[in-house]
Structure 1
Amino acid sequence: MMKRIHVGSSAPKYQSGKWSWDKKHESLHFEQYFDSEDTNERYINTNGYKFLRTLNQEEETIFRQVFVRPDTSFDADTVLINDVRDLVFFLMPKEFLHIKFIEFMHHPLVHRLLHGLIIYFEYFLRLVEFVLIRRDEIAGDKAQMQCEQTNDIKRIWSSYLSQYRILVARDYSTIITGEGDLKKYYHTKEIVRISSTIKDRFFHEQFLAVATQIIWITMHRRAYYVIEMEMNRLFRSEHFILNRQEYLKFSPAERGLLYGRNNKLVNYQNQTSPLIQELKNIANENMPILWIGVRKYRGSDPRIAELELEYMVPGPQLRLIDVAHGLLGHPRLLYNTLLSLDWPSVRYSNFSTDHDPYHMVRQPNLRIPNIDEEEVRKRSQSLDMFYNVYRIYEPMRRETLVNWSKREKIIKYYQSGGILQNVYTRCEKQLVIDDNRPDIKQVVSNFLDVMQKLRKQKN
C-alpha cells in the first residue's frame, strides 16, 4: 500500500512491503521487503542484472532529497523521461555506476533514442494486444472468418510499426558509428583501431538493461517480458533471445505483422539487427522519416505529418494533441516515488470519458486506417526541406553526474548516521549557523533568474 507524498517531505509516509494472512493469530501481517528473505519480491532480473523492484523508507528518503529532479528544472510538475531515468539510476546495480556510462545516458542523442523507443513500444504493445485478441477470435468452436479488408488493415498497421522502427534505427545508427562528441564512446581505439570487445559488450548489455527498465516503468510496468524480449530482438537479433517460458510465441503470420517485411533471419555470423535491416530497406515514401526532428517536413503526406507531430511534441504537451506515451506528461502528484499510480489521487481528479487528458479512463486503441491510405501516400508530394528544427535540451550539471557515480557512498553515509533534512530544518540551521548568507537583492535576483528560465516573459 502506497500513499502519495510531496517531494519536500522529510520522510515517506508508507512502508514498502506486502500483506499476508497469519493463520496462527488469524490476522493480517505486514512484511517489509527489506526484512524478507525472499529476494524475488525485492529485485527484478533484467538481462542478468538485478534491479531493485521497490525501496524501503530510508532509501526512498535519500532518493527524494538527494537525487530527485529539482523544482527549478523545466516542467517540474510533470513526469518526464528524466524522472524515469533518475529512478532507474537509483534502482540499478552498483556496477553500472561509472562516470562514462552515466555521461552516456545523459547525452542528448541517447535521450532522443529513449524517446523514440517509448513511442515505438506504445504502439508495439497495442499491436501485440490486438494479435492476442485476434488469436482467440479465430480459434475454437466459435471462430470468426477473416476478410481481405482485415488483412489490408493489418498490413497498414505493420507498416506503421516499421515507421516507428525507422525513427529508432536512425538515432541508434548515429550512436554506434560514434559521430561527433559520441566518438569517445566508440568501441575502437583511434590509432590502432582495435575493438575493446569485452568493455564494449558490458557497456552494451548495461545500456539494454537500463533502457528496458526505463521503457517498462514508462509503460506503467505492464508487459515486462514482452518489452524485454522485443528490446533484445531490436538491438541484437532473434539469435540472442532466450527460450524462456514467460516469452510469447508468435506464429509466422503474427511475426510478419509485428516484425515487418524487412525482418530477415539468417546465419548468426551474417545476421544484422532488425534496426539496421529497417535502414537498409526504406521505401521511397518513408524517406522523409529520416528528417523528422531535424528538418521541418514540407509535403502532402498525412502520415509523415502525423509522425512528425507525435515525435516533436514534448511530453508535457502531449495532452494538447490527445496522444499518450505511457506516463510521460502526467502530473507528478498522481504518482508516488516509484512512479506507480496513486489511485486515490486519480479518483479525486474526477477523470471521465469527457475529461480524460492523460488517457486514464480511455483504453489504448489502434486507429482504423483508410484501406487506400498506402496508395494515397505513394501519390503524395514532397517538397525540399530547408527549415531546421532546433531542440531544447536542459544540460545536466557536472555535480549531478558526480553524485550518481558516488551513489553508494552517499547512501552509506546517510545510512550510517548522516542527517537527512527537510525544508524546515534546513532553513532553521541556516538561520543559526550560516553567517555568509546572500543579501536580499541577490536572493531576489536569483529568484527572477529562475522564473525567467521557467516562464515566458511578456514583451
Structure 2
Amino acid sequence: MKRIHVDNYAPKYYSGKWSWDSKKDELHFEPHNDLEDARERYITTNTFMFMRTMNQEEELIFRQEFVRPESSFDNDTVVIYDIRDLVLFLMPSEFLTFKFVEFIHQPAVYRLLHALIIYFEYFLRLVEFVLIRRDELSGQMAQVQSEQTNDMKRVFSMYLSQYRMLVARNYSVIIKGEGAMGKYYHMKEIVNISATIWDKNFHEQFLACSIQIVWIAMHRRAYNIIEMEMNRLFRSEHFVTSRPEYLTFTPAERSLLYGRNSKIVNYRTQISPLIQELEHIPEDDVPILWIGERKYRGTDIRIMEMELEYIVPEPQLSLIDVAHGILGHPKKLYNTLLELDWPSVRYSNFSKKHDPYHIVRQPHLDIPQIDATKMRKMTKHYEHFYKIHGLYEECPRQMIFKWLRRERIIKFYRSGGLLTNIVSRCEKELATTSHGPRVDQIIANYFKVKSRLRKEATYGDDAGSLASSRVGNASPRKRKHSLEWHFDH
C-alpha cells in the first residue's frame, strides 16, 4: 500500500470504518459524518457526558484553534497541558464558565493533576499485581504465601501511601483557599456564608475532569478502576456508587491498596482518605510534604527517588527511566486524541533494549528489598538549604476567553468558516502583496520568544554566589521546569 504524506493541517484521527467495495475491488473508508446518535460518541463520567471521539471537522477545528502553539515549551512532546486542552475540548458545554476554566489553569491545580498521574501510575500496577496474586492463590494449583511475600506487600502498601500523601499535600493547598486559591473558596470573606450549591457543582465538575485527564494519561485503560478510586479519594467510600463494573476487593486486598490509615466511621464524621493520610504521618515520611518545595538533604533513598520522580519535567522522564503514562512521549507517536498510532510506533523500531518510553515493556513493579523499612529507620535528615521554584507556563487571558467561546467557534466553522489546509495557506501567501513585518519587529518577536523559552536564574548577591558554588558548574540560563536555587535564610 502506498504511504501517503499527511501535512500538519490534515486530520490525523480518522473516525469511521473500512468496508470492501466489490465494484472497485478495493477497501473503501466510510467516515462517520454524524456521530450524535452513535453509542461510542460519548462516555459518562460521574453523570456528565464527555465526548469519547471526534469527527474530522471537529479535529481540524481543535488543531487550528485550541492546540498549544509551536512557541510553547516542549511542543514536540506530550505534557499535562496537552491532555488538559483535549479534555477542555471534549467536556460538556456547561463546564465552560470563566471561573472553572481559570481554575483549571492554576499552578496549584497543575501540581495536583501531576501528583494524581504519578499516584495512579503506581496504583494501577498494584491492582494488576493484586488480581494476579488472587488467581495464584485460588484453584487446584494454589500457591502458599510466605512471610517474605507479606513483607513485600507491606512495602508496596507503604509506597502507595506515600504517593497518596503527596496527592493529599497538593489537594490541601487548594481546599484551604489561601493565596491565589482564595477566589475559589466557598466561604464569603465578610458575611461568612457558604455557597454550598455552587461549591458542590464546582467540585463535581473538577472531579469529572480529573478522571478524564488521568484516564487519557494512562493510555485510556482501566477506566472503571480510575473512576472508582478517584471518587473514593475525594469523597470516601460512603459516597461511592456501587456499580457492577467496579471491582470488589477482599479485606486483605483493601488493606494493601488503601493503607493502614483508611478508616470507615459514621458518615457524619467521615473524612476523605486524602485527609486521613495527613492526620497520621510517620516521622520518616515528613520530608515528603516538602517535595517540590525544598531540596531534600538526607540519606533516605526512598525520598530521593520520590523527589526525582516529582521534580523532573515530563519531557525528561525518559532520562531517569520512569514512565508516567503518556507524559513525555513524542507527539509523532500519537494522534489528535492522544491515542497511540501503532504504525508510527512500528516505524520507530522500539525493542526491549531500546524502549525509552516504556511502550514495548509492560508495566512492571520492581521488587523492593525485604529490609527496606529497616533501612529507612537508620537514615538521617539534615537541615535544608535550598528552595525549589518550578516555572509554570501561564495560560494567556485571551486563550481563556477563547475556551469560553468554544461552541460559537465550532458553530462558525460548521456554518461555512474556512478551515486552513496546506492548499489554502499557499494560495493565501501567493495572493498577498505585503512584504511582511519590519526587521525591528522580527527581532523583537525573536527576543520575546527567546525570553519565554530561556529563563534566566535569579540569584541574590551573596546567597546566589553561594548557591551557584554549591550546585556546581551549572549554566546561568535555565529552561522551563528547571530549578531556581535560592539560599533559604
Q: Which TM-score band applies after superposition, normalised by the shorter structure?
A: over 0.9
For residue 361 of structure 1, report the CA deviation from its aligned partner.
Answer: 1.0
Q: Is the 8 A contact 1:127 1:258 kept in 2?
A: yes
Q: Is the 8 A contact 1:4 1:342 kept in 2?
A: no
Distance 1:80 1:72 in 2: 15
For residue 428 of structure 1, report the CA deviation from its aligned partner.
Answer: 4.7
Asked if 1:269 is matched to 2:268, the reply is: yes
The equivalent residue for 1:186 is 185
The equivalent residue for 1:284 is 283
Corresponding residue pairs, total: 454
Q: In the alignment, residue 414 of structure 1 is paired with which amino acid? A: Y
Distance 1:305 1:179 in 2: 29
Task: State TM-score, norm by structure 1.
Answer: 0.94
Task: State TM-score, norm by structure 2.
Answer: 0.88
Q: Is the 8 A contact 1:119 1:164 kept in 2?
A: yes
Larger relative CO (CA 8 A, sep 6+): 1 or 2?
A: 1
The equivalent residue for 1:81 is 80
Asked if 1:296 is matched to 2:301, the reply is: no
Asked if 1:243 is matched to 2:242, the reply is: yes
The equivalent residue for 2:391 is 392
Which whole-Å deviations, capped at 9, do the CAs of 1:404-443 have from their partners, x for residues lacking one?
1110011111111111224663465366457594213322
Q: In the alignment, residue 84 of structure 2 is paired with which amino acid? A: R
Secondary structure of the equivalent of 1:316?
helix
Asked if 1:44 is matched to 2:43, the reply is: yes
Distance 1:276 1:20 in 2: 54
Q: Is the 8 A contact 1:43 1:51 kept in 2?
A: yes
Q: In the alignment, residue 133 of structure 1 is paired with which amino acid? A: I
Q: In the alignment, residue 163 of structure 1 is paired with which amino acid? A: Q
Equivalence map 1:12-411=2 (5 Å):
12=11, 15-18=14-17, 32-36=31-35, 38-411=37-410
* Alignment root-mean-square deviation, CA: 2.4
> Residues 34 and 286 (structure 1 numbering): CA distance in 2 closer, same or farther, change over 3 Å?
farther
Q: In the alignment, residue 123 of structure 1 is paired with which amino acid? A: Y
Unpaired runs of at least 5, structure 1: none
Distance 2:139 2:248 in 1: 18
Distance 1:436 1:63 in 2: 30
The equivalent residue for 1:415 is 414
Q: Is the 8 A contact 1:104 1:110 kept in 2?
A: yes
> Residues 251 and 77 (structure 1 numbering): CA distance in 2 closer, same or farther, change over 3 Å?
same
Task: Using the aligned pairs only, state the percent identity.
Answer: 64
> Residues 401 and 366 (structure 1 numbering): CA distance in 2 closer, same or farther, change over 3 Å?
same
Q: In the alignment, residue 247 of structure 1 is paired with which amino acid? A: Y
Distance 2:404 2:226 in 1: 28
Q: Is the 8 A contact 2:13 2:336 kept in 1?
A: no
Task: Say which is worse superposed, 36-45 or 400-409, in terms of deviation.
Answer: 36-45
> Residues 4 and 208 (structure 1 numbering): CA distance in 2 closer, same or farther, change over 3 Å?
farther
Which whole-Å deviations, capped at 9, do the CAs of 1:138-195 have from their partners, x for residues lacking one?
0000000000010000000000000000100001011001010110000111111111
Q: In the alignment, residue 295 of structure 1 is paired with which amino acid? A: R
Q: In the alignment, residue 168 of structure 1 is paired with which amino acid? A: V
For residue 11 of structure 1, report the CA deviation from its aligned partner.
Answer: 3.0
Distance 1:20 1:382 in 2: 65
Q: Is the 8 A contact 1:45 1:51 kept in 2?
A: yes
Q: Is the 8 A contact 1:4 1:336 kept in 2?
A: no
For residue 264 of structure 1, report the CA deviation from its aligned partner.
Answer: 0.3
Q: Is the 8 A contact 1:4 1:335 kept in 2?
A: no
For residue 238 of structure 1, report the CA deviation from its aligned partner.
Answer: 0.7
Distance 2:401 2:384 in 1: 41
Secondary structure of the equivalent of 1:388?
strand
> Residues 423 and 389 (structure 1 numbering): CA distance in 2 closer, same or farther, change over 3 Å?
farther
Q: Is the 8 A contact 2:314 2:327 kept in 1?
A: yes
Which whole-Å deviations, capped at 9, do the CAs of 1:335-378 have from their partners, x for residues lacking one?
00000000010000011111111011111111111111111112
For residue 456 of structure 1, report the CA deviation from its aligned partner.
Answer: 8.4
> Residues 27 and 255 (structure 1 numbering): CA distance in 2 closer, same or farther, change over 3 Å?
farther
The equivalent residue for 2:487 is none
Distance 2:91 2:401 in 1: 16
> Residues 170 and 4 (structure 1 numbering): CA distance in 2 closer, same or farther, change over 3 Å?
farther
Which whole-Å deviations, capped at 9, do the CAs of 1:261-284 have from their partners, x for residues lacking one?
000011111110000000001000
Q: In the alignment, residue 324 of structure 2 is paired with which amino acid? A: H
Q: Is the 8 A contact 1:114 1:211 kept in 2?
A: yes
Unpaired runs of at least 5, structure 2: 457-474, 477-489
For residue 453 of structure 1, report the CA deviation from its aligned partner.
Answer: 3.7
Q: In the alignment, residue 291 of structure 1 is paired with which amino acid? A: W
